[in-house]
A and B are shown apart, each in its own frame.
Chain A
Amino acid sequence: MLELYVVMAFMLIASAIAVSLRGLLSSVISVGAVGLGLCVMFLLLKAPDLAITQLVVEILMLVILIRATIGRGVSRIFHRSSVWIFAVFFVFAAGFLAAAWVSLKDMPAFGEPLMRVSDYFIRNALERTGAANIVTSVVLDFRAYDTLGEATILFTSVIGVLALMRSKGRKKTDERDEPDS
């Protein structure tokens, strides 16, 4: 139980550093520390599949963010720290906390989940799907349509990134055959 609090404190400190630092590269590295702390947290909460996925995804995300940051983070942005933006933040934070209180009020306490649907999955996963890993059987069999939607979203975002980052656009029709001939 104690180790959960230790890792949680590590994540909080790392995210506070990521929030408060001015330099972009150090901030990106701190958010990587948050993600790796989350990876350890998943291991402690008995979710090894998630820990593996989170590790891979975190490294990829760090590479992408560093690609965006490197050589560009030098331009410092000075805040005027206007009062209005903090007022907006407090309004949003109050709304967020109210929604969290309403939804967490009826939640079972930490360590005693409901397991109403999951009991069926746990009891029947092995004989109905043949997968020893119950998470895999849920992802790929019981809730396969969710996975199809995930693949669709991933494909769409890849198409979006390709369309955004394409360095050579398609030439217009009238200037296409001019230069080479």
Chain B
Amino acid sequence: MILFVLDLVLMLMGLYVLITNRNLIKKVIGFAIMEHGLNLLLIMIGYRKGGEAPVVSPGMSVSAIPFVDPLPQAVVLTSIVIGLGITALMVGMCIRIYQRYGTFDIAEIRRLRG
């Protein structure tokens, strides 16, 4: 349970920098930290004490060995790759905004827009 709480603290750090920082790249970083915390939370929910990695070797009886839950692992595998795509898209937007306005500061961008 302590690990869940520590993971929530990690996600709160991401939320903090996502809301309070005015730098666009720092916002992307906060988003990435929240995403890491979320993936870790899902994997920790599926962990079984003394479990094995869900790979069947020859001569291994499936019902006897305690495997870790494979379903969250499959879902998180999807989520990691999607997270990379989202981050790349956000960084592309940030680079374009920098080329146009010359700054990453969101307050500055709003002021220049008029």
Q: What mask results when residues 21 to 64 of chain B are scored 1 for a CB within 8 Å of chain A, else 0?
A: 11101101110110010011001111111011111110000110
What are the interface flags for A60-89 relative to B under an 8 Å C-beta threshold, 1 for contact and 0 otherwise?
A: 110011011100110101010000011011
Q: Which of A83-102 contact B (CB under 8 A)?
A: 85-86, 88-89, 92-93, 96-97, 100
**Distance, CA A31 to CA B63, complexed state (A):** 40
| B105/A77 in contact, CB under 8 A | yes
Residues of B within 8 Å of A57, CB to CB, are 80-81, 83-84
Within A1-35, which residues are at the interface with B (CB < 8 Å)? 4-5, 8-9, 11-12, 15-16, 18-19, 24, 27-28, 31, 34-35
Inter-chain residue pair count (beta carbon < 8 A) = 237
Q: Are A31 and B32 CB-contacts (below 8 A) given A122-B67, A153-B85?
A: yes
Contact yes or no, B57 A132, CB < 8 A = yes
Residue from the list B44, B53, B71 in contact with A110, Cβ < 8 A = B44
**How far is A125 from B63 in the complex, measured between Cα atoms in Å?**
12
B14–A112 contact, CB under 8 A? no
- Tell me how many residues of B have a C-beta within 8 Å of chain A: 78
Q: Is the interface of A mostly helix, strand, loop or mixed?
A: helix
Known: A46-B53, A72-B98, A135-B74. 19 other contacts (CB 8 A): A5-B2, A8-B6, A12-B9, A18-B29, A24-B23, A38-B40, A46-B54, A48-B53, A50-B43, A50-B80, A53-B81, A65-B28, A65-B29, A93-B16, A109-B1, A113-B46, A117-B71, A132-B56, A139-B77
Q: How far is the CB of A167 from chain B (nearest CB, A)?
A: 10
Bound Cα distance A134, B72 (Å) = 12
Kindly list chain A residues whose C-beta atoms are within 8 Å of the C-beta of B73.
47, 49-50, 135, 138
B: residues with CB less than 8 A from A are: 1-4, 6-17, 19-23, 25-26, 28-30, 32-33, 36, 39-40, 43-49, 51-57, 62-63, 67-71, 73-78, 80-89, 91-96, 98, 103-105
22 A-B residue pairs with Cβ-Cβ distance under 8 Å, sorted by A, are: A5-B2, A8-B6, A19-B33, A24-B26, A28-B29, A35-B32, A45-B68, A46-B51, A50-B77, A50-B80, A68-B95, A85-B20, A110-B1, A110-B47, A113-B46, A121-B71, A122-B62, A132-B56, A134-B54, A135-B77, A139-B77, A154-B82
